[in-house]
Amino acid sequence: MRRPQHHHLVLTPIIIATVSTLLPIAAGCSGGGGSGGSAGAPAAPVSQGAVTAQAEADPVTTDFDAGFGGNPSDVEIPSAAATPTARGLRDQLFAVETQGRVRVFDLPAVGAAVTSNRSFGLEAAPLLPGTAAGDLSIRDERLATVTGSGNGTVGEALYLFDPRTASSSQDVTKLDLNGREIILNPSRPDSDGTIVDRVPINLVSSAALVTAGVPNPRVFVASSNFAVSGGNLNFTTNNPGTIIVADVDLATRTATLRSEVIVTTDFNPSVVQPVRTANGASVVLVLSSGTGSSDGPCSVDVIDPTALRVVATIPLGATRAAGQIAVTPDGRRAFIGGSDFIGGRDRSEVYEIDLVGIEAELGNATPRVLAQRAVRDASNPIRLDRSPRANSTDFIASLAVSPSGRYLYAVNFNASFFYVVEIESGLPVTVQGRLDLARNGTPENFENNPQNLVVRPGTPGVDYDGPDIYVSLLNFLDPLVPDNRTALEGITTDKH
């Protein structure tokens, strides 16, 4: 039994003058077994530490929805956020709103007073109803991308801009993906078993930029490709999911589609994550979240970014994995957020895959199934806990790994909880503590639901003094802040 430890979390509403409340959290004794840093390692039980937490009673928030203005009933949702590691961008936070506005915040050297740097629209006007801005990817100081999703005829796009200087829609270039079809050769079955030979591109959800091993930056874009009925998406039938690839000209920030199209192993690809492995190789991970009408199967495909093909797949089982893929700084492990509604279990869950030596698969002519690399899959996930709130269907909306690789941070959207999980290799996986972000809101009514979680680059106490984690909160109905729709929350922890 390991000696119980104490650590602290500080919840900091952005732009607040009062002193934040200190949150002591006592970790319980860990269970036996190892978390597994290698393929096939046995799963360890998860220990839940005792939690004593008190949040600020009177939240003061940063309103993301100050840009387009207009009708107060137009609700903005934070679709993505990023704290770039690139030099020159390390002290900034980028956030994307569903209606197509990018906001850039300056993070302070001392304190929690985040200030607005600038904001700009991806288009000259807000995105059309039924469409939304999605994933944000910033790979270096020169290039950032945002995906746009819709119904296949409107809204499908990839936007590109310079994250250092973009200040209006005129600084954004666009790759229009509307009305495009993919011809499948050979043909493949949809989720109903019907053989299809062409699929419409729709619900573009995620993109990843890869800059290593190729002459120009290459962007990999996931599209779910639901069936279309009467001009509307049929969310119960999935066509084969695809990854389309484009080469980027940095001088003009324009993207040119390649002829190669990558078909994912399972349906509904929703997350694309580039990885630099421990040996310096580049691979691309793609999470397929399963069909719209059932739980799973879910899997993670491993793509060779040079050969442009799936070289391996890691099955996660029958579940609804979604959210993000968080990779440890050394490139050896990855964690995937999700939820599990099978058999009424309805818990917050995290899955883990082993990436040690994954670059050995890059030469595969046909994909290999690597079930042993699913250290934690649907049968033995990291279970955080069941929400104590009524009518709450838990799922992990966002997660990230600490700079040391010892801790995993996660947020539960419907329950409005923030978690710290110890994941140090060779030690039992332990939930170190849970922080309630709901304040006086009711998460079941979409009040203070955490959507995006990002970690500030650098060393706390050395590079900056203030929150090291930022969470965007969706807020439709909080009675304390009636005109607020999105807030930015700062969290300070000594678990780095």
Residue 348 corresponds to which amino acid?
Answer: S
Q: Backbone dihedral region of 485: left (phi > 0), alpha (psi from -120 to 50 degrees) or beta?
A: alpha
pLDDT score of 73: 35
CA separation for the pair 80, 112 (Å, rounded): 21
Residue 31 corresponds to which amino acid?
Answer: G
In whole angstroms, what separates CA 186 from the centre of its chain? Answer: 32
Q: Is 496 exposed, middle or buried (0-12, 13-18, 19+ CB in 10 A)?
A: middle
Q: What is the pTM of this model?
A: 0.85
Q: Which residues contact 91 (CB under 8 A, 6 or more apart)?
A: 106, 107, 109, 464
CA distances from 301 to 10, 164, 207, 264, 316 (A): 37, 32, 15, 7, 11
pLDDT score of 69: 27
pLDDT averaged per 10 residues in sequence order, the chain, 496 residues: 41 31 26 31 32 29 31 57 91 92 92 88 93 92 94 94 97 96 93 93 91 80 89 87 95 94 94 94 93 77 96 92 90 89 64 97 96 94 73 80 94 89 84 82 81 93 91 68 66 87
Residue 456 corresponds to which amino acid?
Answer: R
Q: Is 15 exposed, middle or buried (0-12, 13-18, 19+ CB in 10 A)?
A: middle
pLDDT score of 414: 82
Residue 421 corresponds to which amino acid?
Answer: V
pLDDT score of 1: 34
pLDDT score of 134: 92
**Which residue in this structure is represented by tokens 């390692």?**
41
Residue of 209, 379, 232 whose CA lies nearest to 282: 209
CA separation for the pair 68, 101 (Å, rounded): 8
Q: Are 293 and 303 in contact (CB under 8 A)?
A: no
